[in-house]
Structure 1
Amino acid sequence: MSSGRLNTEGIMLFEQPFARVPYENYRKVFRTSQKHIEKELGPVQTASHELTRRAKAGEVNSEDAMKSIDHMITRIESLKRKLSELQSSSGTPTLSVMKDRLQHLSTIEAIQSESEPEFTRWADTRLERWLVDWSLRHGKERTARQLAQERGIESLVDIDLFSDIRRIEDSLRGQSCTEALAWCSENKAALRKLKNPLEFDLRFQEFIELVRARKLEEAIVYQKKYLIQWYETHQAQIHQASALFAYPPSTAFGAYKRLYDPNRWSALIQSFRLAIYNLSTLPTEPLLHLAMYAGLASLKLPACYDPATKNPDCPICDDALGKLAEEVPFSHHVNSTIVCRITGRIMDENNWPLAFKNGYAYSKEAMEDMAARNNGIVTCPRTGESCHFSELRKVFIS
């Protein structure tokens, strides 16, 4: 770990999704609550004004007034129930989650250096969050919950969100669009703003399944009810799907056969996942992977993939991490950094490199130690070439 000044700005940039997920959830809950309030309070206000007007004009008796008041009370109780259900369905209280996460991020602003114990504790919590995130994205919800509970970070991870994602994806794997369409209905405005076609894709698939089952009359009704409204933007797909009436799965060919392909369900799962990640401002890759990509990109060199120059102490030269590093660009260093193959320490002006005649260089510390143990003789561990310590040449780093 470097003892340099902490790059707070870089850390905050990487942590944007951490703070935005509960914020976006709060916005969704707020907008839905507002719609319920407008829908229920509007008629109540209208009825109240009308009752007041009729009472002043002497046009209402006590029985009618009580019925009108009872009706308004019923609507208010209905509104209260809907708001309560909305808060319950949103999982952990959103404002509390936002508070905990912002407090967690504010801790980093008081830390000046990576060498401080406070940063080590904060980084450990961050790693635990990343491990929970990785577990949730790979369907290991039980492991994620247990880790979050043991570390006391339930409010710092998105277990409820990924639980919903898994539930909807399981429904799609079972070839049912019901859960996904319900999610689309809840997020209709946001999806429309992003011009995301997920709802059409789900409706399109339900239409295909009706035709596959040769429920043609139901398919015609379904098409008129749900697909025609997308005609302007998806005209070609709707026309192509209409031809399925003439081609059952057993005789379909070419593009029509592909419409019956069961793999379309896998594509729907992927489309849904991308849509909910986008709306929740989550990256498509696990946070742990993104952090590893950043680290690997700072170390990756062409030599890491050359069998003749692989360094056992280099993470990129390791087959597993080297495979992951294939997706990141090579490192660019303005100043060279050379690490001794023997000691693993950086060679600099205080521990300069010494080279054999064959060109291989090792640190002064390593060569002095080897010479002290072998009567002034040093041996290149790569080629086996030996010489006296005085014959080594000092190498200047540029």
Structure 2
Amino acid sequence: MTDALHADILKLENLSGNGRSKAPPIQQSLDALLESLYSAKAALETGSSTPRAVATQVQKAVEGRKKDIDDRQKEIYGAIGKMGKNLDKKFPNTLPDLSTLFTSPSSVKALENTVATHLIRTEQFDVADVFHQETGTQAPLELRTQFQDLHRVLTALRERDVSLALQWAIQNREFLESRSSPLEFHLRRSEFISLLLSPTDPNAARTALSYLSNALVPRFFPLHKAEIFRMSGSFSYLPIEKLKKSPYAAFMDSKIHDDLEPAFVKEFCARIGQSRSSSLKVVGDIGGGGALVRIEKGRKVMKDRKSEWNQADELLIEIPLPPENRYHSIFACPVSKEQSTETNHPMMMSCGHVLAKESLTNMAKPGGRVKCPYCPIESSLSSALRVYF
């Protein structure tokens, strides 16, 4: 979704609620009109005002509130019209007709489960309950509990509280180490910075130094030596005013703490066997971001040329993807210039250079020795290791 569309949606949300506007919200105008009518009725019943004066007062109230409502609606309709124009610019071509999808019971059930899982993953638990009642689906209770735990940790991280995240990282330390994940170190680094810059602790430097010596150095020094040296060096530039202008000013950047959320989500989802992003979100971002329109346009072009596409496992055109949706790297052999496949996968020689398996086999001498084309080192074919991207 473009920034313009996002801004249009936010403006509509504000106009629909109590956001800033030239006119008050419609509900507020109606409530004010109702209050004026009640006041007029009371004035007539008590005789504190003449009927003519009451009628004049009511007429002014109705006209004033009608103008407020008309102005508010005019703003809303204007915002809707602007959003429609931006949608037309973003999606100039109609989407393909896919009426045959989601007709079988199994496909409908799969779609409903995908939607239900998305609602749980995005912390919309109340909406998920209503969805379950109306569709008859039910996401696994364990999955719901897991994502409730995840959002509890994320809420704490937004408040710069890493205690829950650290507790999870320690409990799953073996899993994180198997993935060479730096999550626990980054969490402890964030806590160290919070202690160092604490505005309420008069002995903040001493507290941070104790934490560095006891919680960071013993466990993380071999793997994160350079960063621990940087943390140690920051003490020489205290107080904080001096630290802001030092080589360690990056420690005061909020990005260090903000990056913890996506990092934790990635490791947490990997631990429970889920993708780091909701399937529905990925499909919506890619398909709604232009992929469906591009594919449909390519189909029409090929149909006009009478060359129908018959490769079921390939796209007929290249679809550009944002970096977060590029899940697999593509290796092209520097010798043959061909992309790797399952049968012609990348192989790393003992010198560290990588070639495609077929290129490596073709270059092998009798006896299975291969001379690297990029360095003087000669390796044995049997010592080459497969590289996974």
TM-score, length-normalised on structure 1?
A: 0.44
TM-score, length-normalised on structure 2?
A: 0.45
- The one of the two structures with greater contact order (alpha-carbon pairs below 8 A, sep at least 6) is 1
